A and B are shown apart, each in its own frame.
Chain A
Amino acid sequence: MTGPRTIRVGGGQGFWGDEPDAPRRLVEGGPIDILMLDYLAEVTMSILQKQKERDPALGYARDFVGAIESVLPALTTRGVRVVANAGGVNPRGCAAAVRAAIDARGAGAALRIGVVTGDDLLPRLDSLVADGHALAHMETGAPLATVRDRVLSANAYIGAGPIREALRGGAAIVITGRSTDTALTMAPIAEGFGWDVDDYDRLAAGIVAGHIIECGAQSSGGNCLADWRTIPDLADVGYPIIEASADGSFVVTKHPGTGGRVSVATVTEQLVYEMGDPHAYITPDVIADFTSIRLIADGPDRVRVSGIRGGAPTPFLKVSIAYRAGFKAVGSLVYAWPDALDKARAADRILRERLDRLGLRFDQVLTEFVGASATHGVLAGAPSPDLAEVQWRVGVRSERRADVERFTRELAPLVLNGPPSVTGFAGGRPKVEEIVAYWPALIDKRVVTPRVEVV
């Protein structure tokens, strides 16, 4: 059997909100076979669920429609295929919107769209629990009943299988809901080379490739601490590309002439990002061993990756459940030199006294002094006594919306009735936000049945 020698997968979005022009630049800047777009973070599903409650046609990453429009010529003339988890909680709605956008352009009527569903467990939640699937919190062990009446969304992370099926069915665009980020890359590589579902070493290599490009330019020079001053032309940063080989090894690179950098340092920083136990990176298809990864510089902006080992997956899928968990608000004022930090501290004492007098109840009141200690706390050491300004930032959290609402009215008065040299209040009152908390759980794989339609 002869297959392709190399499969090129470009990672064109690292989250919902990434650079809108990146997918187009990736397909126009040079050869790629697959455009992989990752839109979903832990919290994204719950935001999408709220949008779907307001309008049943929504609930997907709407940026994706614009992305498809921007790359349509490459899809129709070069055969580039797209794999994206843009479907969120409404993959069919997403597919309909994409189809409408394609039809409106009058090109691409022949493009088939694959839709992967079956990850949404919300309609089945009570029957699953009744059938003995506890969906206990993975870290605390608490039963789901603790938060059941506040659940907003519940999605199983599904793997590469249904994406491979959609590609086999001729889909030029594959839209999934809560697939794992890494499956979006592994599936088209594994399908293109015809890897078996128990070829764990090579599947693991596909997963590692997916991890490297799932955060977009974070592996090609973005957010890279190593020699950050010398990383060229981030204004035109090249998004990362995997050049996969049939033996499971691959090269990480980017298009010639783009900014940024692909080096052992930039790739390593991405490999350790959000890492848990490196011996067991668990996915629905395979467990990848990150301690087996070998990286070698392979010319300018090229890193060769090889040696990856994998093992059989667990009988479980991870489930991401989002639930309503009270309210929060964060506000700030800016105090200027001289004695900026002392003034901010004085304002904080006054505010807390007023909140106490009002009898408001909060689960937490957090004060930070931005410019002095907000990100590193006491590790930052004693601040300079001569700071030009300090941003006083206060957040509160409570089950009681009214108490959070009242807090938001207590900051601005301090401009006139608190310590001096204060500014930075032009944004007005802080906004009250509903907190959506995250409940990770496991479920028996056998009760989750992904479905694939190619339309």
Chain B
Amino acid sequence: MRVRLLDLAHARSGDKGDTANVGLIASRPEWYEVRVRHVTVERVTAHFAAVIGGPVERYELPNLGALNFLLHRALDGGGTVSLKTDAQGKVYSTALLRLVLDIPDDEAARLALPPAP
């Protein structure tokens, strides 16, 4: 079943130098594991491939139901150098939420995941 990450999580992003971070937070605690399994470094790297210049790192915070992604070389040199509208990476958060996941039907049913419209 296709599921929008937007319907499973909320997010906030910020910057450190030329790196943006996206903290991805489960909208329901039981949906944390879905994202650990399906929102992998490989998946996020592919998602942002055309947008950022460096690698992606992922950290797990099960205590907060959150994953933290670091997107390296994402800001064209960082806050003050960058010419981008989003020079401080404030809306990489919702860019990540554009991901659409393919979840096995039994898993989606068990966790009552909302299907993509």
Contacts and interface: CB of A to CB of B under 8 A. Distances in A.
B61 A376 contact: no
Contacts of B10: 225-226, 265, 269
Given A272-B12, A272-B61, 18 more contacts: A46-B80, A225-B94, A226-B10, A269-B12, A272-B21, A272-B23, A273-B12, A274-B21, A275-B68, A276-B70, A277-B59, A278-B61, A307-B63, A366-B83, A366-B84, A379-B51, A379-B95, A395-B84
A158 interface: no
A268 B83 contact: no
A370 B54 CA distance: 24
B101 interface: no
Interface residues of A, number: 50
Interface stretch (A199-207, A290-298, A445-453): A290-298
A378 interface: yes
Interface stretch (A29-37, A184-192, A432-440): A432-440
Given A275-B68, A364-B76, A330 B83 contact: yes
Contacts of A374: 85-86
Contacts of B25: 226, 265, 268-269, 272
A291 B25 CA distance: 14
A162 B116 CA distance: 54
A382 B15 CA distance: 27
Interface in A215-262: 223, 225-226
A42 interface: yes
28 contacts: A43-B79, A139-B18, A225-B11, A226-B10, A265-B10, A265-B25, A269-B11, A269-B23, A272-B21, A272-B24, A272-B64, A273-B13, A275-B21, A276-B16, A291-B63, A293-B64, A295-B64, A307-B63, A328-B81, A328-B83, A330-B83, A366-B76, A366-B83, A377-B95, A379-B47, A379-B95, A435-B80, A438-B17
Contact of A368 (B24, B27, B78, B85): B85
Interface residues of B, number: 43
Query: Interface on chain B toward A: helix, strand, loop, or mixed SS?
Result: mixed
Contacts of B81: 325, 328, 397, 435, 437
Contacts of B84: 366, 368, 395
Contacts of B27: 226
A365 B53 CA distance: 17
A274 B90 CA distance: 10
Interface in A369-397: 370, 374-380, 393, 395-397
A271 B83 contact: no
A290 to B, nearest CB: 6
Nearest to B23: A272
Q: Which of B18, B27, B77: most chain A CB closer than 10 A?
A: B77
Nearest to A374: B85
B83 A276 contact: no
A270 to B, nearest CB: 7
